[in-house]
Every structure is written in C-alpha cells, then in structure tokens.
Chains A and B, each alone.
Chain A
Amino acid sequence: EPEVTQTPSHQVTQMGQEVILRCVPISNHLYFYWYRQILGQKVEFLVSFYNNEISEKSEIFDDQFSVERPDGSNFTLKIRSTKLEDSAMYFCASSDGQGNQKLFFGSGTQLSVL
C-alpha cells in the first residue's frame, strides 16, 4: 500500500536555527497538509496546500513557517528561527481529494529544540 514518507524521523536543533522537514506524499494525491502534536496533546492543523499554494492555515502557522513543493514529489515545512515551543511531532498528510477526503499520515518527524 502506498504511504507518506517523512524525513528525518528525529531532528534536534538549537533555538534560533532553521529546520526543514521533508515529506514525500502519495504520488497521485493532490492535497497536502502539515499537522503537529505536542507531547500529550492533540493533533493540531498547521496548513493545507493545493495547486501549489496554501489553501488554509492556522494561527500557529505564522511568518516563521513556510511550505514548499519544490518538485513533483517533495513537500517541505520550513521553520525559520525555531523556538523551544516548536518542539513537537510534525506529521505530513496527503489526500486524493476525491469524495471522502481521508488523510494518509506519515510517521512524523520528532523535532526537539534545545
């Protein structure tokens, strides 16, 4: 079964550094998402992306965050200047946009900001 792939699985960075989290969505999917989950808390929506542009973003997704689909397969989340409170598991998801809109999630990148 096709799956969403995320790299790296773990990322440790110093506060103020830039990080790029990478995702390869399922190949025929058209809609892409980033979610995050702080330890012990719920899965929170960050941003949705369709047709090479952001279609929706949450209050969390401020100017420190950006997304990009640099080629036909990768989908990236960049955090420009990381803060301690950015420490979380970041999940990429994709959907084919047809009918049921079920999301397929990757295994996540655990980001630790020190």
Chain B
Amino acid sequence: SQKIEQNSEALNIQEGKTATLTCNYTNYSPAYLQWYRQDPGRGPVFLLLIRENEKEKRKERLKVTFDTTLKQSLFHITASQPADSATYLCALRVIYNQGGKLIFGQGTELSVKP
C-alpha cells in the first residue's frame, strides 16, 4: 500500500540549533515533493518544493533534500527560532490528470525552546 511517513513524535530542540525532519514514502513515484508549515487551527502554508531530478533546495534558513532511491526527503531548519515552532507537513504530488492531488503525511510537530 502507499504510505507517507513522518516522525510521529514531536521534535524538541534548543533555539539556534538545526532541526531535521524526515519524510519517507513507499509505493509512490512522485514528480515532486513539497513541504508545508501548519500552525494550530490554520491551513497549511507552502514552504518549499523539490523535483525528482533535484537533490537539494534551499530557501533562507530552510533546506530540503530528496533521495528518490531511498524514497526519503529531509527538511532542515538552521539557526532555529521559537517562531519556527509549528507542525511541518510533507506532501507528494500524484499526477493522474489535470490538477492531480497532493497527498500529505501526518506531520511532525516542532517545538523550539528559547
């Protein structure tokens, strides 16, 4: 069966450290993978996208890697801040036809302590 798995346990780190979140998937061949941030009671907000032919993508303090052999993406937040505390979702785009759909993992809750 198809699965997207993220660290189910919350990640607690100290301010200034690097947070690393993992997304593993099985039985998908995604064209690309996206990461979103979700705050309590709010909709997901897009952060980064990485394509199947890209190994790494960066945006400010964020870095995403994508290993299609391991079927894994890693999401890094460097110099983390308390404001980075949120749930982070990975999502795979499954293309069937016009539009397709994004399938989300269950998310990893990140807590950055001052």
A interface vs B, CB < 8 Å? Answer: 4, 31, 33, 35, 41-45, 48-51, 55-56, 58, 89, 91, 93, 95, 97, 100-108, 110
Query: Does B1 reach chain A (CB closer than 8 Å)?
Result: no
Contact call A50/B93, Cβ cutoff below 8 A? no
A103's contact among B38, B102, B105, B106, by CB below 8 Å, is which?
B102
Task: Please count the residue pairs between chain A and chain B whose beta carbons lie under 8 angstroms apart in the complex.
Answer: 72
Q: How many positions in chain B have a CB within 8 Å of any CB in the partner chain? A: 24
Contact call B100/A105, Cβ cutoff below 8 A? no
B residues 1-57 near A (Cβ < 8 Å) are: 32, 34, 38, 41-46, 49
Task: Give the residues in chain B near A42, CB-CB below 8 Å.
Answer: 89, 104-107
Task: Give the residues in chain A near B114, CB-CB below 8 Å.
Answer: none
Query: Does B113 reach chain A (CB closer than 8 Å)?
Result: no
How far, in angstroms, from A97 to B38 measured CA to CA in the complex? Answer: 22
Query: Does B101 reach chain A (CB closer than 8 Å)?
Result: yes
B99's contact among A4, A31, A44, A102, by CB below 8 Å, is which?
A31
How far, in angstroms, from A95 to B101 measured CA to CA in the complex? Answer: 11
Contact call A51/B98, Cβ cutoff below 8 A? yes
How far, in angstroms, from A49 to B89 measured CA to CA in the complex? Answer: 23
How far, in angstroms, from A49 to B97 measured CA to CA in the complex? Answer: 11
Task: Give the residues in chain A near B41, CB-CB below 8 Å.
Answer: 89, 107-108, 110
B residues 73-114 near A (Cβ < 8 Å) are: 89, 93, 96-107
Task: Give the residues in chain B near A95, CB-CB below 8 Å.
Answer: 99
How far, in angstroms, from A73 to B5 measured CA to CA in the complex? Answer: 36
CB distance from B41 to the nearest CB of A (A): 7
Top 5 nearest A-B pairs (CB, nearest first) are A105-B43, A42-B106, A102-B46, A43-B104, A50-B99
Task: Give the residues in chain A near B98, CB-CB below 8 Å.
Answer: 31, 50-51, 55, 97
Contact call B43/A56, Cβ cutoff below 8 A? no
